[in-house]
Amino acid sequence: MTTQTITQSVTRDEAFYLERFKRAVAHGNYTNGRMVDEDLHCELYKGFAIVNWKRTYTRPDGTTADNHSAFVWEIGGMYDQLTDLNWVSQGVVTWGYGSDNLEKSLKKVRKRLDMFALMYPRRQELQALSITRVPSIRHDSTSVFNAKVNDVVAIRAFGRSRAGIVVATQGSRFVVAYMTPSNGQDIHYKVLPLNYLFPKG
């Protein structure tokens, strides 16, 4: 399928994401013979577009069951330039599978997006940190004495020392956002106790 580029006149609203998703479903093979009904829901939430796909399947005993899958794109992100997707999950920043009702599906993905909303506005800072030199973290390295939101710390991720930003706390744990130098788009995070946070150097 040929990827098209949208013009400035196209509004990135619920209808844009919903219609684009419908076209991706129509071009794919997602039915597997047991699907008897489907429904789509779209909403915009904290700078992200959520498309929830409800599929109703027949069970072997003849009864039916609903399965909800939520797909999320960043509003204004690089994939907004595509009017057509090559597959339903192309360019998603996160997704959720397996919920049995709409509210449960949306609640699960909104919780993740609450975290993303703290990280995505800091993309430029995180990109700059991803290419800075960070001392190697060894088994005898001394962790930071304390940490608070907005602190820059070093952590272990993807087998290396990385610099990141504390964007939130969860009880006694710290949510550290970071990026890797090889990917200037994807933002990652880890939820870590204090003894896994180290000075940046």
Within 25-131, strands assigned E span 35-45, 48-58, 64-74, 94-99
pLDDT score of 11 more than 80: no
Torsion of CA 4, 8, 11, 17, to 10 degrees: 20
Residue matched to tokens 């880890």: 190
* CATH number for 150: 2.30.30.140
Kindly report, residue by residue over 142-154, the tens digit of the pLDDT.
999 999 999 999 9
Q: How many domains does the chain have?
A: 2
- Is the same domain home to 19 and 84? yes
- Is the same domain home to 116 and 28? yes
Residue numbers of the domain that contains 70: 14-121
C-alpha neighbours within 13 Å on the C-beta side of residue 43:
13
- Is the same domain home to 111 and 140? no
Q: What is the mean pLDDT of the chain?
A: 90
pTM of this structure: 0.81
5 part of a folded domain: no
